[in-house]
Amino acid sequence: MATLAQETQRIASPLISIREVRKSYQLEEIQVDALRGVDLEIESGEFVALVGASGSGKSTLMNTLGCLDRPTSGSYRLAGHEIVTMNRDQRAKIRNQQIGFVFQNFNLLNRTSALENVELPLLYQQGMTRSQRRERASNLLDRVGLGDRKSHHPGQLSGGQQQRVAVARALVNEPSILLGDEPTGNLDSKTSRDVIQLFGELNERDAITIILVTHDPEVARAAKRQVVLRDGMIVCDTTNFREAFEALRINAEPVDQEDQ
């Protein structure tokens, strides 16, 4: 049983704390070091973008933050709980309680209404009646601006509307963290701005911690903090977008042979 001092430390600690996290994969005879000693803290209520090119390690870091995968070594504490030592079922329980996911491809059930799609995660919660599930799902669709589209199936909705359904579904278990994996990747520029604005409103109005994984500087600009990754390491962690953009630009430039 935790002592009072341990419980006080847990409550006072950052929502997310990663220390010396490394993740390696074995591809045939080649070892791929996807994360190389990453340190990161995120406080409750922050709006953070994880930015980097393909192969930078941002997706691996997202999988770690989302409790979808365990690091090879290091420490990951979420709300004061050490995730690294948890088994798969324990991580699934933490995921269900703490994290809502929004993916690039929406992942909606095509033959199911928007209301039923949002309601789906609640089917695994004990103690909720059907009317309670419906009420919560309905209220969330109202919050994301789809109050008049509750009975529509995904095929009857635009890409932006489908992503709003996905956001509502991610929020239905009342998580403390909303984790978006390239959430605007399949949207046009105007619709992307609308969806990112929605994330900003959720962060400002409801104090939900938002973490977006993106390669798009314009998406990263909307966040209040940018964390730039390259080759499995954090090369820039800033609240100044110009600094983040400069880090992205420098990291994207090829190195001349004379400079090596």
Name the pLDDT band for 244 (thresholds 50, 70, 90).
Answer: very high
| In the predicted structure, residue 5 carries a pLDDT above the cut 60 | no
C-alpha distance across the termini of the chain, in Å: 56
Residue with tokens 């928007």: 114
pLDDT in tens, 116-164: 999 999 988 888 899 999 999 999 999 999 999 999 999 999 999 999 9
Name the percent of the chain in helix, strand, coil, to the closest 5: 40, 25, 35
| In the predicted structure, residue 172 carries a pLDDT above the cut 90 | yes
What per-residue confidence (pLDDT) applies to 56? 92
What per-residue confidence (pLDDT) applies to 97? 87
Q: Domain 45-72+97-253 falls in which CATH fold? A: Rossmann fold (3.40.50)
Query: Cβ(20)–Cβ(37) under 8 Å?
Result: yes
What per-residue confidence (pLDDT) applies to 126? 81
Q: Give the global pTM.
A: 0.88
Tokens of 195: 């969806």
Q: How far from chain centre, in Å, is Cα 34?
A: 18
The residues, ordered by sequence, that sit 6+ positions from 116 with a Cβ below 8 Å of its Cβ are: 109, 137
| In the predicted structure, residue 9 carries a pLDDT above the cut 60 | no
Q: How far from chain centre, in Å, is Cα 163?
A: 14
pLDDT in tens, 25-77: 888 888 889 999 999 999 999 999 999 988 899 999 999 999 999 999 999 99
What per-residue confidence (pLDDT) applies to 235? 95
What does the domain layout of the chain look like in residue ranges?
Answer: 45-72+97-253
pLDDT in tens, 69-110: 999 999 999 999 999 999 999 999 999 889 999 999 999 999
Name the pLDDT band for 258 (thresholds 50, 70, 90).
Answer: very low
Name the pLDDT band for 251 (thresholds 50, 70, 90).
Answer: low
The residues, ordered by sequence, that sit 6+ positions from 226 with a Cβ below 8 Å of its Cβ are: 48, 49, 51, 220, 236, 237, 238, 239, 241, 243, 244
| In the predicted structure, residue 257 carries a pLDDT above the cut 50 | no
What per-residue confidence (pLDDT) applies to 255? 42
